[in-house]
Amino acid sequence: MQTSSLAPLPEVQRVRGTNDYLPPDASRLHALADRLRGFFELYGYQAIDTPVLEPLELFLRKSGDEMTARMYTFSHWNRRLCLRPELTASVMRAYVNGMQERALPLRLHYAGPTFRYEKPQRGRFRQFTQVGVECIGASGPLADAEILRVACDALQAVGLSGYRLVVGHLGVVLRLLAQLGLSEHAQTLILSAMEHLARRGAEPEAVAERILGLLGFPQPGGNGALGLDEPEAGLLHEFVARFGERGATRVAADLLALGGLPLEGGSRAVEEIVARLLDKAGRADPSPAVRTAIAFIVRLRDLAGPPERALPALEQLLAEHALPTSPLAEIRQALDMFHCYGAAPAEICVDLSLGRGLWYYTGLVFEIYHESAQGSLQLCGGGRYDELVRALGGHDPVPACGFAFGLERVDLALTEDLARPAVEPAAQVLVVPLAQEDAPLAIRAAESLRAAGLRVELDVRGLGARGALRRADRTGIPLVVLIGEREREQGVALLRRMRAHAEERVPLDELPAAARRAL
């Protein structure tokens, strides 16, 4: 007999940063998601599901540069699409598309896979599951406090108690950026950098240089996007003022041509290129304002701490910058309402440098961290986003707030806390026909047990009595029903309790009740 000379094909490996959750891990994760969503319903939240595939435009409008740079995007039949990187924008799109006529507030909960191109590390994957809630149509401290409470209480409900709540408010930084007169593009770059600046090891000057480079001002200390010093910039402004924008453009283009320095502009005219260069060179240098904003965010980070210490210090800082203290009042009121629910986390931190990395947040924001010997792990993030409905085409401005857990991170925290919930075996009963002739009766027995609400596995491999008992022992199935020639003749089943190592013969019509008693 000849054997094949073909080499075996190589295995097809899973994509890096993704995971295969094998039994029983997949069942454990599904059960954890169900427990969280079931808890949300105690507060009146209803289930919603949205597509994994979304228009790219949905996330370009308000998600921010950091998020959009990590999305999986592609084009199909001239449509720009993406795999959703988070679920809040998807849920709010669904609200705008089909729920604007419903009574408010509208409370929704969800769970589903999301995708981001991340560097894989502890608790961070390229495909992960978000489980969360959105409260649409409510503003004020009572709604914010409910969101904080649902997030904290849900963790308690699944058995996790060692966590830290960090609360911030984007209104402070947003007001400062507007006060500094920074362009919208500059503001979004600074907001995107807040998450990095909040870390103690961040280098503010490096962040400032990166932002200025993206704004077209790459030379530290230069004046204008072309790196001009002050005398050169002054001459440029005088030149434009004397000849006007059109005249200056014509003169500059003619001088370049006379000097044998033509510009290669592809499909654009030389005058258009020169006009853009003059506009870029003549813009006011945003460097002082950018550095002021970054220094302010670092100062906010340094003042972070417990509410009783952080809030008075932050009030003083805001007064120094002539900024309103209303965001601090909102935090105080939300925390006061939050404490009305009862027990609170052992550690609450107020940190106004908390940015969340998403553009759509407008007010109170928060994150929840779990501390263990392996380090700090962010489990949850959320906040208030009162302008997202309008940004997605809604008829009216609608306030909203919400949060999302990273399901795999909550599971990891439970593991590290040695509090992972026990996972039941896939089946409660293994029904075993000892011979082919016993199969019809075994099938009927299995069906009667399933009709009684039990999870039943039917042996389809012909394991025999010894092999079936070995399988039940390895997989944790607590009951085994054996049906052989003797049982078939007597109209009974042999019911074996694996943990007690005890067995009894039970009439087939009494088998479901006997199995329930044994469990």
The C-alpha atoms of residue 66 and residue 118 are separated, in whole angstroms, by 11
pLDDT 10s digits, 213-240: 887 776 444 444 444 454 545 555 555 5
How much of the chain, in percent, has pLDDT values that exceed 90? Answer: 61
Burial class (CB in 10 A: 0-12, 13-18, 19+), 102: exposed
Q: What's residue 406's pLDDT?
A: 97
| Same domain assignment for residues 493 and 402 | no
Whole-angstrom distance, CA of residue 428 vs CA of residue 431: 10
Residue 222: the pLDDT is: 45
In a domain, 262, yes or no: yes
Supply the DSSP symbol for 285: P
Closest C-alpha among 237, 166, 74, 174 to residue 385: 174
265, part of any domain = yes
The kind and range of the H/E element at 236 are helix 230-258
Q: Last residue of a domain, which of 416, 439, 457?
A: 416
Separation between Cα atoms, residue 397 and residue 373, nearest integer Å: 45
User: Using CA atoms in the order 396, 139, 167, 151, what is the torsion angle rounded to 10 degrees?
Assistant: -100
Asked if residue 92 and residue 137 are part of one domain, the reply reads: yes
> Is it the case that residue 267 has pLDDT exceeding 80?
no
CATH code of 365's domain: 3.30.930.10
Does 146 map to a domain? yes
Query: Is the domain of 365 the same as that of 441?
Result: no
pLDDT above 90: residue 343: no
Q: Are residues 447 and 404 in the same domain?
A: no
Q: Tell me what pLDDT residue 262 has.
A: 55
Instruction: Tell which of 282, 316, 333 closes a domain.
Output: 282
Between the two ends of the chain, the Cα-to-Cα distance in Å is 54
Q: Do both 269 and 365 map to the same domain?
A: no
Is there a single domain that holds both residue 132 and residue 88? yes
Other beta carbons within 10 angstroms of residue 79's beta carbon come to: 10
At residue 483, the pLDDT reads 95
Report the distance separating Cα 226 and Cα 216, nearest Å.
8
Q: Does residue 325 register a pLDDT over 70?
A: yes
Residue 7 lies inside a defined structural domain of this protein: no
User: Is the entire prediction scored with pTM above 0.85?
Assistant: no
Residue 188 is assigned to a structural domain of this protein: no
Instruction: With respect to residue 407, please indicate whether it lies within any of the assigned structural domains.
Output: yes
The count of structural domains within the chain is 3
What is the average pLDDT across 266-280? 51
Q: Find, among 217, 200, 199, the residue nearest to 208 by Cα.
A: 217
Tens of pLDDT along 474-489? 888 999 999 999 999 9
**pLDDT classification of 245: cutoffs 50, 70, 90:** low
Distance, in Å, from the CA atom of 310 to the CA atom of 303, rounded to the nearest integer, reads 6
Cβ neighbours of 298 (radius 10 Å): 17
489 and 402 co-located in one domain: no
Q: What is the pLDDT of residues 87-127, one digit of tens each?
A: 999 999 999 999 999 999 999 999 999 999 988 888 889 99
Query: Is the peptide bond preceding residue 433 cis, with omega within 30 degrees of 0?
Result: no
Nearest to 300 by CA among 164, 168, 188: 168
Rounded Cα distance, 124 and 116, in Å: 10
Q: Any idea what the CATH number is for the domain that residue 489 is in?
A: 3.40.50.800
What residue has token string 């808890």?
39
Are the C-beta atoms of residues 65 and 192 closer than 8 Å to each other?
A: yes
Say if strands 79-83 and 72-76 run parallel, antiparallel, or are unpaired: antiparallel
303, part of any domain: no
What are the two backbone dihedrals, phi and then psi, of residue 503, each rounded to the nearest 5 degrees?
-145, 155
Pair (38, 166) in one structural domain: yes
User: Domain residues for 494?
Assistant: 429-518
Tell me how crowded residue 319 is: count the other CB atoms within 10 A of its CB. Answer: 11
Nearest to 486 by CA among 427, 449, 435, 416: 435
Claim to verify: residue 148 and residue 250 sit in the same structural domain: no
- Please check whether residues 254 and 360 belong to one and the same domain: no
Evaluate whether residue 292 is within a structural domain.
Answer: no
Q: Which of 265, 282, 299 is the last residue of a domain?
A: 282
Selected residue with higher pLDDT from 68 and 362: 362
User: Do 140 and 30 reside in the same domain of the chain?
Assistant: yes
pLDDT for 236 equals 52
Task: Give strand pairing partners of 350.
Answer: 167, 305
Whether residue 158 is found in the same domain as residue 36: yes
DSSP string computed for 441-495: HHHHHHHHHHHTT--EEE--S--HHHHHHHHHHHHT--EEEEE-HHHHHHTEEEE
